[in-house]
Amino acid sequence: MATRGFTGRPSGGDQSERIPPGQHLVDYFPVLTAGPTPNIEPGDWKFTLKIGPRPVKAWNWAEFNSLPMTKMTRDIHCVTSWSKLNTAWEGVLIDDILADAGVEHPTDFLLAHSFDGYSTNVPLADLASGKAMVALKYEGKAIPRDHGGPARLLVPHLYFWKSAKWVNGLQFTERDEPGFWELRGYHIYGDPWKEQRYSGD
């Protein structure tokens, strides 16, 4: 690739190479929520891991906060066409949640569930191996409530609807079961680089 000269771009390379097709860059942080924003006090917070209908482990806020913390800075891509670069998160890798529960690979698929009734499906391969986390902090601070605080899923390599806000559980499922938006016409997988916006894309 030809040198582009001293344009002051970050060492990550040309920014335009980081914007998937059909997306445009924003520098603010839009809020997108299907319903009202829930208010979850730490004392009411609980995160449950299930295999099918069977709960295998649950953590309260203090227990969850004592799990290993990992930082992750990633670009995010919303299906409504905005992308935001270098968003900085801190939280618990899905790998570390599964390890704490002593669960490895009961099935290939999961549903994430949220306090507002939202759900979204993600294959285990896209949650494990350091790819995804339950984030507890954004830009060094508690995640603002409208962005999913106190805790949200972060699956940055898929469209942002997969990053369930106010997440309160992960459930292994036998099959790839559509969640809230996937039942309403969004793509079952949602790879922004393949523009998998709607079912049929």
Ligand X SMILES: Nc1nc2c(c(=O)[nH]1)N[C@H]1C(S)=C(S)[C@@H](COP(=O)(O)O)O[C@H]1N2
Binding site for Mo ion (CB under 5 A): 32, 78-79, 161
Beta-carbon neighbour count of residue 160 at 10 Å? 22
Task: Select the residue interacting with ligand X from 83, 121, 163, 171 (CB under 6 A).
Answer: 163
Which of 128, 124, 122 is CA-nearest to residue 181?
Answer: 122
Longest dimension (CA), the chain: 57
Q: Is 30 in the site for ligand X (CB under 6 A)?
A: yes
Closest CB to ligand X among 75 and 116?
116
Among Mo ion, ligand X, none, residue 30 binds (CB under 5-8 Å by kind): ligand X
Among Mo ion, ligand X, none, residue 70 binds (CB under 5-8 Å by kind): none
Closest CB to ligand X among 124 and 192?
192
Q: How far apart are CA 175 and CA 173, in angstroms?
A: 5
**Beta strands per DSSP E along the chain:** 24-25, 46-51, 54-60, 70-77, 82-93, 109-114, 119-123, 133-138, 141-142, 152-154, 167-173
Task: Select the residue interacting with ligand X from 25, 26, 31, 62 (CB under 6 A).
Answer: 31
Could you give the string, one character per residue 88-127, with x where binding to ligand X holds by CB under 6 A and - elsewhere? Answer: --------------------------x-x-x---------
What residues pair up with 51 in beta bridges, in sequence order?
54, 172
Q: How far apart are CA 192 and CA 78, in angstroms?
A: 8
The residues that touch ligand X, with contacts defined as CB under 6 A, are: 30-34, 78, 114, 116, 118, 147-148, 160-161, 163-166
